[in-house]
């Protein structure tokens, strides 16, 4: 069994966050607590599997854990998105001959080795000669010879066994279907009703997909756009601008793109999000072998380490914690990898390879100044007072060399910051004066392990207090060690 962290009030000792998917292997209250204490900062509820009743129980268990450990815990609900699938076959399956012809049509009759129904009429309107159709996660590859109103004739570049209702990917065309299905709309309403902190939107192809989801959310929760379609790459800046964060969903990206294209695109997505100061999550197959094995491969360790070196805000575990045999061990090892990378003397140089110039605002200038002071003067951390979390995001964009203690009167803000690099969020009462700010900041820093007597900290806030977007104050404070005795 993995070693359990003794005191959850202490900062994790790393700045990158761990997002773990909940499933049959991990949804019990006991396992949720073990995962949290092993290092999980945020839990992903995958709406593609299970029913809403089960998900409601999971969310309730996470909120109960939150009260038990007195720490805000982040919940992300991940929408399934539309799934393109072929129809059925006479014998449940068929063999498509390599280099042979195969037809996709609108005939609902069971298919055979020459044809099958494609129950998605919108595809017949957009597919053109030369475009690809990838079936069963790319195991079968078809190339369009001729597309007509009721049938698509293809040649099989890679043949093989095809069975009932296998998934279809269309990498070369923008599919004219919305990112939100009726199921997604129901699940989105469920996520909002149950107070999800983040909602992840699948099948994003264009900025309009993000705008529609945001409208349906009605200001509740934050929105992550999953970048898993090649079409999204062409409008990445606009999609990131409309989102609160992005996810590099390497599963579908790896199906629809050549394998060698995925690493540079991952870096481009991370850089785009970091440049504008929005959280970016790297997801899918990070420690895949740990679904069955108690130890990862060396390649998987390098993969996680590279995402941390790139400055990703969070790294995600999927089936490793949802259905794997070693969920706590997977979290523990990911925690160890991240911690080791961040202790590397070369880490700061690598994480700043991506330039994130500040906007021409007082708040951005102060955030940059805080990071610069942290490099020049020995400080234990940066204390950020914020209502909306925007100041914390500005500081995180600078990837300072010290951790960030975020004090906020908003529990919703504290929870959402579970996906923000370097942020240790604390829900606390609001402040009303400069003196109260300094006293509370020093007290909370000692309580949460940010330094000891004699340590210096940088405090960032806005005056007048309680006014959104008013960050205009930077102050360096010194802990005496007596702050806790005074209260």
Cite the active site residues: 44, 85, 226, 284
Q: How far apart are CA 309 and CA 231, in angstroms?
A: 27
* Residue 429 and residue 409 in contact, taking contact as beta carbons nearer than 8 Å: yes
Closest by CA position to 392, among listed 403, 378, 379: 403
In order of 192, 321, 327, 436, the CA distances from 32 in angstroms are 22, 10, 10, 36
The vertex-31 CA angle with 29 and 34, nearest 5°, equals 110
The two structure tokens encoding residue 244: 């609160």
Q: Are strands 168-169 and 132-135 parallel, antiparallel or unpaired?
A: antiparallel
Question: β-strands 160-163, 93-96: how paired?
Answer: antiparallel
Nearest partner of 310 among 338, 277, 270, judged by Cα = 270
State the CB neighbour count (10 A cutoff) for residue 265: 17
Rounded CA-CA distance 150/316 in Å is 41
Contact criterion met (CB below 8 Å) for 186 and 404: no
Alpha carbon distance 143, 245 (integer Å): 35
Distance CA 127, CA 172 (A): 8
Handedness of CA 474, 480, 481, 482 (dihedral sign): negative
Distance CA 205, CA 255 (A): 16
User: What length does the chain have?
Assistant: 487
């Amino acid at each position: 069994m993995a070693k359990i962290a003794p005191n959850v009030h202490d900062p994790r000792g790393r700045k990158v966050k761990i997002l773990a998917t909940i499933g049959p292997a991990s949804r019990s209250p006991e396992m949720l607590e073990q995962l949290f204490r092993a290092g999980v900062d945020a839990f992903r509820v995958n709406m593609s599997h299970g029913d809403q009743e089960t998900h409601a129980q999971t969310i309730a268990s996470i909120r109960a854990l939150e009260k038990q450990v007195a720490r805000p815990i982040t919940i992300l609900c991940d929408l399934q998105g539309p799934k393109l699938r072929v129809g059925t076959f006479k014998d449940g399956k068929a063999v498509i001959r390599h280099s042979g012809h195969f037809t996709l049509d609108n005939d609902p009759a069971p298919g055979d080795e020459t044809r099958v129904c494609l129950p998605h009429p919108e595809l017949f309107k957009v597919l053109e000669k030369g475009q690809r159709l990838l079936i069963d996660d790319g195991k079968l590859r078809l190339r369009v010879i001729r597309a007509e109103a009721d049938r698509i004739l293809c040649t099989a570049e890679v043949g093989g066994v095809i069975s009932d209702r296998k998934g279809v990917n269309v990498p070369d065309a923008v599919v004219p279907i919305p990112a939100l299905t009726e199921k997604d709309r129901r699940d989105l309403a469920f996520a909002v009703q149950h107070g999800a902190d983040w909602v992840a939107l699948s099948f994003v192809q264009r900025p309009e997909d993000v705008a529609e989801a945001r409208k349906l959310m009605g200001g509740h929760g934050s929105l992550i756009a999953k970048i898993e379609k090649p079409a999204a790459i062409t409008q990445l800046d606009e999609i990131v601008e409309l989102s609160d964060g992005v996810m590099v969903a390497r599963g579908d990206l790896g199906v629809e793109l050549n394998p060698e294209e995925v690493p540079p695109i991952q870096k481009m997505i991370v850089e785009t999000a970091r440049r504008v100061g929005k959280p970016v999550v790297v997801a899918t197959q990070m420690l895949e072998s740990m679904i069955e094995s108690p130890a990862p491969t060396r390649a998987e360790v390098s993969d996680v380490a590279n995402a941390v070196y790139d400055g990703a805000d969070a790294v995600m575990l999927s089936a490793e914690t949802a259905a794997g045999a070693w969920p706590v061990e997977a979290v523990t090892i990911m925690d160890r990898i991240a911690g080791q990378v961040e202790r590397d003397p070369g880490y700061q140089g690598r994480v700043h390879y991506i330039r994130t110039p500040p906007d021409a605002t007082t708040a951005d200038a102060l955030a940059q100044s805080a990071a610069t002071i942290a490099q020049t003067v020995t400080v234990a951390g940066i204390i950020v007072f914020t209502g909306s979390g925007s100041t914390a995001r500005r500081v995180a964009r600078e990837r300072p060399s010290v951790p960030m203690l975020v004090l906020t009167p908003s529990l919703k803000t504290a929870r959402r910051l579970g996906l923000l690099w370097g942020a240790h969020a604390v829900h606390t009462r609001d402040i009303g004066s400069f003196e109260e700010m300094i006293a509370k900041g020093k007290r909370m820093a000692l309580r949460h392990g940010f330094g000891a007597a004699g340590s210096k900290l940088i405090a960032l806030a806005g005056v007048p207090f309680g006014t959104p977007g008013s960050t205009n104050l930077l102050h360096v404070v010194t802990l005496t060690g007596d702050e806790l005795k005074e209260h």
